[in-house]
Amino acid sequence: MKDELEFDAAEVDTPAPKKATYTEDQIRTLDWLEHVRMRPGMYIGKLGDGSQDDDGIYVLLKEVLDNSIDEYMMGYGKTVTVDIAEDGSVEVRDHGRGIPLGSLVDAVSKINTSGKFDNEAFQKSVGLNGVGLKAVNALSDRFEVASVREGMRRAATFEKGVMTADSGMYPSDEPDGTLVRFHPDPEIFPGYAYRFEPVENLIKNFTYLNTGLSIILNGKRYISRKGLLDLLGQRMTHDPLYEIIHLKGHDIEIALTHANQYGEEYYSFVNGQHTTQGGTHLTAFKEAVSRTLRDYFGRSFDYSDIRNGMVAAVAIRVQDPVFESQTKTKLGSREMGPEGPTVAKFISDFVKKELDDYLHRNLDVADAILKKIQESERNRKAMASVSKAAKEKAKKVSVHNRKLIDCNVHLNDTRGAEDKKADSSIFLTEGDSAGGSITKVRNPDTQAVFMLRGKPLNTYGVTQKVLYENEEFNLLQAALNVQDGIDGLRYNKVIIATDADVDGMHIRLLLLTFFLTFFPDLIKNGHVYVLQTPLFRVRNSQTSRRGAKNKNENDTVYCYTDEERIAAIERFGDKAEITRFKGLGEISPEEFRAFIGPMMRLDRVTLRKEDGVDALLEFYMGKNTMERQNFIINNLVIEDDSQL
């Protein structure tokens, strides 16, 4: 009998492709403005509505800020003011040199016009291609730029990239600098809204990388005096085992320590750009630190033991850096500049000398590092036989693993691993019913499914040995390919998709406990999400009974909150037909298609120092059963006295 989750291509009713003509009439030449608006993803990555940290509206803000930061790096303007209004409009004012007035319009509206092409005017800048402000202009329904230089001012306004006014030059007593106001076009970013957290993180990163720079966000001032030392102090969620090592040199700054946590945690930057996907500089840094510690202790420690629990940050400045995309999240440069050393040699030479010198001067820190490495080594060797057997079992099972239904980019795509990871996601579902619904309507090219069986193990307080002996989590680790660290992660998004009931919430918490305990770097690097699915379906009872051809999609509303449900009921009145979805398996595959498509709602799981995760996990997932029971009893709210 065919397994109910096996699908034959012949069973899928796929419409025959339409025949299309291809002649000279289909060849088009677009000007820069048409191209940016038609293909915005080439310039700012994804679009989105602001619910995700990497959505396009944050890229627009960053593109404007990059120019102000470049001015500061060149020694002009110590203060930048950023104001974000409730209507989503943004204003950025710096006190740099100001864009040359005669070139003001061209600088924001001609694609290959920029001061960034001149290495004398801008050295080691993050803005490279003269694209940033033009993309912001093109993707905004309102855009204004003004520049003040030496007592003269000029301003220009645009609508969707088309200039509507030019003030010309006139005297002004304002201080020098550039002002940019923009309102992202709702046609391109429908329903967008700026969230405070990703904006604040962006601002903080700029201050960490530019000590002494003051950025005022909606009236609140941000400034850093200790650079990457401040960054690690803010981002670490566990106490450091020893004083953070902070080293600075010409065009390089590093900070590192260890903590009692699994995995590795890195923050890397190039010319002030947060390279969230790392690159040549991060690879060189990890290699250099590992090799230096090996040499210092005179022991051939395994690199994984040296870096287990390490938390570090590295920032370098490169002349004419080469990034792997316009969004600049991964460095591809091999050299520091046209006549400079390679990135690897530059970082290696610095780390070898400065870190070695530091350890010789701070023997207590060296001793703490040695103890941490030896502890990691002992744990790894103690687990060697268990993990080897578990990995072999996972390897054997994975070929016919009914829990994992993989996506095509991993099965038969020939592109590089990084391209695959950027495109792909995996849904962690609760049972075969929900897994089957998602499997039938997912995008098979980029979306994988892993089906859990029942409630997984509570992993709080257990050892890695127990984790590997647990079949469910052993196979999950194998599916994600994270047994040896998140560098091997096969999916960019790990999406927890459980029912919106008590059992579903419990499974979600057990999965989050697993990630928080053993793979916190997955969360900190923005890979773990929770899928939002509707709690209710409200539809017009009259039209819902019509034939399929007469149904109107506007007569059905999917509600994710009680507020949305009430609004939908008011909309349809007495004709409202309400369905409560208790589990994902109750949602038909066709309905599910919209919930996991391009507009699916995801809540990113975050991990911050102020969350106090260790204490939370100990209280809610630890063995203090009676304490939790008393807490529930003392805080139970009974709305109906008849329940007493």
Residue 49, SS3 per DSSP: coil
- Residue 177, judged by CB atoms within 10 A of its CB (0-12, 13-18, 19+), counts as buried
70 is catalytic: no
Q: Is the dihedral of CA 128, 417, 391, 466 positive or negative?
A: positive
Residue 311, SS3 per DSSP: strand
Active-site pick, 54, 141, 320, 503: 503
Give the distance from CA 353 to its chain's centroid. 34
The secondary structure element, H or E, covering residue 578 is strand 576-580
Given a contact cutoff of 8 angstroms between Cβ atoms, the answer to whether 292 and 338 are in contact is no
Active-site pick, 63, 264, 430, 432: 430
160-165: long-range pairs with CB below 8 Å, 24+: 160/33, 160/37, 160/185, 161/33, 161/36, 161/37, 161/109, 161/134, 161/137, 162/33, 163/105, 163/109
Angle at 446 between CA 440 and CA 451, to 5 degrees: 50
Given a contact cutoff of 8 angstroms between Cβ atoms, the answer to whether 201 and 208 are in contact is no
Residue 31, SS3 per DSSP: coil
Active-site pick, 253, 499, 521, 555: 499
Active-site pick, 166, 295, 484, 501: 501
Amino acid code (one letter) for 104 = L
499 is catalytic: yes
List of residues 6+ apart from 354 with CB closer than 8 A: 247, 249
Amino acid code (one letter) for 117 = F
574 is catalytic: no
562 is catalytic: no
| Cα-based distances in Å from 346 to 44, 82, 247, 547, 612 | 31, 35, 14, 70, 38
Given a contact cutoff of 8 angstroms between Cβ atoms, the answer to whether 305 and 376 are in contact is yes
Of the candidates 23, 20, 39, the one whose C-alpha atom is nearest the C-alpha of residue 31 is 39
Place of tokens 């065919």: 2
Catalytic residue list? 430, 499, 501, 503
